Protein backbone atom coordinates (compact mmCIF):
# COMPACT_ATOMS: atom_id res chain seq x y z
CA UNK A 1 0.00 0.00 0.00
CA UNK A 2 1.36 3.40 -0.96
CA UNK A 3 1.98 6.03 1.69
CA UNK A 4 -0.74 8.28 0.25
CA UNK A 5 -3.24 5.41 0.41
CA UNK A 6 -2.28 4.71 4.02
CA UNK A 7 -2.82 8.35 4.96
CA UNK A 8 -6.26 8.30 3.34
CA UNK A 9 -7.13 5.01 5.09
CA UNK A 10 -6.02 6.41 8.47
CA UNK A 11 -8.14 9.53 7.94
CA UNK A 12 -11.15 7.40 6.94
CA UNK A 13 -10.82 5.23 10.05
CA UNK A 14 -10.39 8.29 12.29
CA UNK A 15 -13.39 10.06 10.74
CA UNK A 16 -15.53 6.95 11.09
CA UNK A 17 -14.60 6.59 14.77
CA UNK A 18 -15.50 10.25 15.35
CA UNK A 19 -19.02 9.60 14.01
CA UNK A 20 -19.81 7.12 16.80
CA UNK A 21 -19.83 7.43 20.58
CA UNK A 22 -18.32 4.00 21.17
CA UNK A 23 -16.37 1.28 19.41
CA UNK A 24 -15.42 -2.31 20.10
CA UNK A 25 -12.35 -4.19 18.92
CA UNK A 26 -13.11 -7.81 18.05
CA UNK A 27 -11.55 -10.72 16.24
CA UNK A 28 -13.60 -12.22 13.43
CA UNK A 29 -10.91 -13.71 11.18
CA UNK A 30 -11.83 -17.35 11.77
CA UNK A 31 -15.44 -16.97 10.66
CA UNK A 32 -16.43 -18.67 7.42
CA UNK A 33 -18.32 -16.79 4.71
CA UNK A 34 -21.75 -17.85 5.97
CA UNK A 35 -21.07 -16.77 9.55
CA UNK A 36 -19.44 -13.53 8.43
CA UNK A 37 -22.54 -12.69 6.38
CA UNK A 38 -24.76 -13.53 9.35
CA UNK A 39 -22.63 -11.28 11.58
CA UNK A 40 -22.86 -8.40 9.11
CA UNK A 41 -26.66 -8.81 8.90
CA UNK A 42 -26.94 -8.88 12.70
CA UNK A 43 -24.80 -5.74 12.89
CA UNK A 44 -27.03 -3.94 10.38
CA UNK A 45 -30.15 -4.90 12.37
CA UNK A 46 -28.58 -3.66 15.61
CA UNK A 47 -27.38 -0.41 13.96
CA UNK A 48 -23.75 -1.39 14.46
CA UNK A 49 -21.16 -0.66 11.79
CA UNK A 50 -18.62 -3.45 11.22
CA UNK A 51 -15.22 -2.61 9.69
CA UNK A 52 -12.19 -4.83 9.25
CA UNK A 53 -9.05 -2.75 9.77
CA UNK A 54 -5.31 -3.19 9.79
CA UNK A 55 -3.87 -2.86 13.27
CA UNK A 56 -1.15 -0.38 12.33
CA UNK A 57 -3.62 1.87 10.51
CA UNK A 58 -6.05 1.73 13.43
CA UNK A 59 -3.21 2.49 15.85
CA UNK A 60 -2.24 5.58 13.85
CA UNK A 61 -5.88 6.64 13.51
CA UNK A 62 -6.34 6.43 17.28
CA UNK A 63 -3.16 8.43 17.82
CA UNK A 64 -4.51 11.15 15.53
CA UNK A 65 -7.71 11.50 17.61
CA UNK A 66 -8.13 13.55 20.76
CA UNK A 67 -8.03 11.48 23.92
CA UNK A 68 -5.84 8.72 25.30
CA UNK A 69 -6.36 5.34 23.65
CA UNK A 70 -3.02 3.87 24.74
CA UNK A 71 -4.70 1.06 26.75
CA UNK A 72 -6.11 -0.28 23.47
CA UNK A 73 -2.76 -0.56 21.71
CA UNK A 74 -1.91 -3.80 23.52
CA UNK A 75 -4.80 -5.69 21.90
CA UNK A 76 -3.95 -4.59 18.37
CA UNK A 77 -2.53 -7.90 17.20
CA UNK A 78 -3.94 -10.62 15.02
CA UNK A 79 -6.92 -9.59 12.95
CA UNK A 80 -9.07 -6.76 14.23
CA UNK A 81 -12.58 -5.73 13.37
CA UNK A 82 -14.15 -2.51 14.56
CA UNK A 83 -17.75 -2.56 15.73
CA UNK A 84 -19.00 1.03 15.94
CA UNK A 85 -22.24 2.15 17.55
CA UNK A 86 -23.93 5.08 19.25
CA UNK A 87 -25.48 2.76 21.82
CA UNK A 88 -22.83 1.65 24.30
CA UNK A 89 -24.10 -1.86 24.97
CA UNK A 90 -25.42 -2.78 21.50
CA UNK A 91 -22.21 -4.45 20.21
CA UNK A 92 -21.75 -6.29 23.53
CA UNK A 93 -25.29 -7.67 23.37
CA UNK A 94 -24.75 -8.65 19.74
CA UNK A 95 -21.52 -10.54 20.52
CA UNK A 96 -23.12 -12.22 23.54
CA UNK A 97 -26.18 -13.30 21.52
CA UNK A 98 -24.02 -14.78 18.74
CA UNK A 99 -21.87 -16.69 21.21
CA UNK A 100 -24.98 -17.91 23.06
CA UNK A 101 -26.63 -19.12 19.82
CA UNK A 102 -23.79 -21.52 19.09
CA UNK A 103 -22.44 -23.24 22.19
CA UNK A 104 -19.03 -24.07 20.69
CA UNK A 105 -18.60 -20.65 19.03
CA UNK A 106 -15.54 -18.62 20.00
CA UNK A 107 -15.89 -15.87 17.40
CA UNK A 108 -16.47 -12.98 17.29
CA UNK A 109 -14.01 -12.68 20.17
CA UNK A 110 -14.14 -9.50 22.21
CA UNK A 111 -10.77 -7.77 22.63
CA UNK A 112 -11.53 -4.30 23.99
CA UNK A 113 -13.98 -1.41 23.85
CA UNK A 114 -14.18 2.34 24.19
CA UNK A 115 -17.59 3.24 25.64
CA UNK A 116 -18.64 6.60 27.08
CA UNK A 117 -15.02 7.75 27.45
CA UNK A 118 -14.04 4.55 29.31
CA UNK A 119 -11.82 1.76 28.02
CA UNK A 120 -12.61 -1.89 28.71
CA UNK A 121 -9.98 -4.53 27.92
CA UNK A 122 -10.35 -8.30 28.03
CA UNK A 123 -13.05 -10.86 27.41
CA UNK A 124 -14.09 -10.75 31.08
CA UNK A 125 -15.42 -7.21 30.49
CA UNK A 126 -18.11 -8.36 28.03
CA UNK A 127 -20.70 -9.05 30.76
CA UNK A 128 -20.03 -5.62 32.26
CA UNK A 129 -20.59 -3.99 28.88
CA UNK A 130 -23.86 -5.88 28.32
CA UNK A 131 -25.14 -4.51 31.64
CA UNK A 132 -24.24 -0.89 30.85
CA UNK A 133 -27.28 1.22 30.20
CA UNK A 134 -27.32 3.50 27.19
CA UNK A 135 -27.68 7.25 27.55
CA UNK A 136 -31.34 7.06 26.49
CA UNK A 137 -32.06 4.26 29.00
CA UNK A 138 -30.50 6.34 31.80
CA UNK A 139 -32.54 9.40 30.80
CA UNK A 140 -35.71 7.28 30.80
CA UNK A 141 -34.86 5.96 34.29
CA UNK A 142 -34.32 9.49 35.61
CA UNK A 143 -37.58 10.73 34.07
CA UNK A 144 -39.45 7.77 35.59
CA UNK A 145 -37.93 8.51 39.00
CA UNK A 146 -38.89 12.16 38.72
CA UNK A 147 -42.44 11.34 37.63
CA UNK A 148 -43.05 8.81 40.40
CA UNK A 149 -43.51 11.30 43.31
CA UNK A 150 -45.67 13.58 41.16
CA UNK A 151 -47.88 10.64 40.19
CA UNK A 152 -48.22 9.64 43.85
CA UNK A 153 -49.27 13.17 44.85
CA UNK A 154 -51.79 13.41 42.01
CA UNK A 155 -53.15 9.98 42.86
CA UNK A 156 -53.51 10.89 46.55
CA UNK A 157 -55.21 14.17 45.70
CA UNK A 158 -57.63 12.60 43.23
CA UNK A 159 -58.53 9.73 45.59
CA UNK A 160 -59.00 12.24 48.43
CA UNK A 161 -61.24 14.29 46.20
CA UNK A 162 -63.36 11.24 45.44
CA UNK A 163 -63.70 10.52 49.16
CA UNK A 164 -64.78 14.09 49.93
CA UNK A 165 -67.26 13.99 47.06
CA UNK A 166 -68.69 10.71 48.38
CA UNK A 167 -69.01 12.06 51.93
CA UNK A 168 -70.71 15.25 50.74
CA UNK A 169 -73.11 13.27 48.58
CA UNK A 170 -73.99 10.96 51.49
CA UNK A 171 -74.58 13.92 53.81
CA UNK A 172 -76.79 15.68 51.26
CA UNK A 173 -78.96 12.55 50.91
CA UNK A 174 -79.33 12.19 54.72
CA UNK A 175 -80.64 15.76 55.11
CA UNK A 176 -83.32 15.30 52.47
Is 77 in a helix, a strand, or coil? coil
* Polymer length of the chain: 176
Is the per-residue pLDDT at 128 higher than 90? yes
CATH superfamily of domain region 3-132: Ribosomal protein L10, N-terminal RNA-binding domain (3.30.70.1730)
pTM: predicted TM-score of the whole model, two decimal places: 0.80
Q: Which helix (H) or strand (E) holds 169?
A: helix 135-175
Beta-carbon contacts of residue 59 (< 8 Å; ≥ 6 apart): 73, 76
Burial of 96 by CB count in 10 Å (0-12 exposed, 13-18 middle, 19+ buried)? Answer: middle
> Mind listing the pLDDT tens digit for each residue in 23-74?
999 999 989 899 999 999 999 999 999 999 999 999 999 999 999 999 999 9
Amino acid sequence: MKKEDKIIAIENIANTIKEYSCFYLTETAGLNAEKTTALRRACNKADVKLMVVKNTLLHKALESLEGDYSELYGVLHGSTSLMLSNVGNAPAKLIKDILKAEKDATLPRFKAAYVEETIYVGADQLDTLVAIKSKNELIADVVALLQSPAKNVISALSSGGNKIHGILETLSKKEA
